[in-house]
Structure 1
């Protein structure tokens, strides 16, 4: 999924999460031509968050067939743009003023997911929810989440759906808190609530029994009887970990047991514990335990013979 060399500039993405099946989020990486004129963008109701990752450009937009003049900004690496959807098509153009082609990551969040989360937060109708459109701003948390999703795309989405779904929930909550008119209300939510011990045990038991599967936030939330959004928030408030982090930790623990007690190959251990492949399993294992799975198995066997 990740190209070995930078692709030629294009108005088509060179990486996309479409095949990964991320619920509520489409992530696409683009490598843009140095100059573009008269590109028509059709009406779009979803939320678009764009991170500019390379190059510098002058970007301008206006309504199609409208009388408005061009509105534009200068964009640099690390800048972000937030478009909240439009019922009208608009025209865009850009021109690079650096020798480097502009690269960007586009994150498109489904509006219905944003509205549903907002309604859970405030306990009321949020169909008229409006976010503040912004161009050429910087936000450290949004940037960090976007870069982690970009890294996931480059590696072929090996962590599965749970990581992307957790990241999407974090994106939505941050957007509602800081870019919606009712952000101050959302910012005062009670953070003292926790999962009950029984709810937490049910979730952990399910993770352990289904560690080889591509777990989703919705499936884990069902074990505790909450919506995905409330579950992700309560799980983190209860354990200090995101659901994705806990699933990865449980998978690594299971992998250690298999390495100690079976003769399964590393590829088989990776499959049994829910890792995408042996390469990704080895990378995660080494990062967490400071040794490869093969070294771990060899050292355990050496110590058990003493």
Structure 2
């Protein structure tokens, strides 16, 4: 649960052989999701909807509004075992598009049932939680089990591990930046092949991706009204406030000052 707006990009969620089933408890005006370094979803969603993340695909999300959600961790092995119990063999995937929001009364009912139980820790309640979670896994397997539709490898694009590595290296060097040659060497490619492959994979050049990530870092800092825009520009690696303002406006559609003012107005409304 995140009560403050403007949290920005999530940290990498790992690369487990599992899914996260996400039950949204409140509306989100912006729902941006990246998998394998590529944007796969950009929309809003309503409270009471569900979506599924495949953790094998390095999902990263952008969070703009306060976030109230329940996340259910489901190993693919558990989904496969549930399908076998149902007489469905060779099924270990959930056949849902990444970020695809849908309404499911069963998922929502189980989530709403679990909410008050989580606040009352006891051995009896833990047994009930385990029972409900096992039932949810069986339900997801029986209703959505199938061959997941993973995107075909795009000719000339980077391999998923290369996309993850490049993105991680750029995150670690957000402030000072990193050269194409360093990224290319880490991936075993020439600089030209790296640049072409990254753009083919993500739709952006490495430099554009880094600027976008700097804006995401700036969004987190802008939640503090005592930090000046000039300091935010400096601390996120922009050459000056003017450069920061141009890039921010291109990405977010409004100037940094207007964005910060809207944050302040939202806080006043919530406090009223």
For the criterion TM > 0.5, the same-fold answer is no
Shorter-chain TM-score range: 0.3 to 0.5
* TM-score, normalised by the number of residues in structure 2: 0.39
Structure (1 or 2) with the larger CA radius of gyration = 1
* TM-score, normalised by the number of residues in structure 1: 0.35
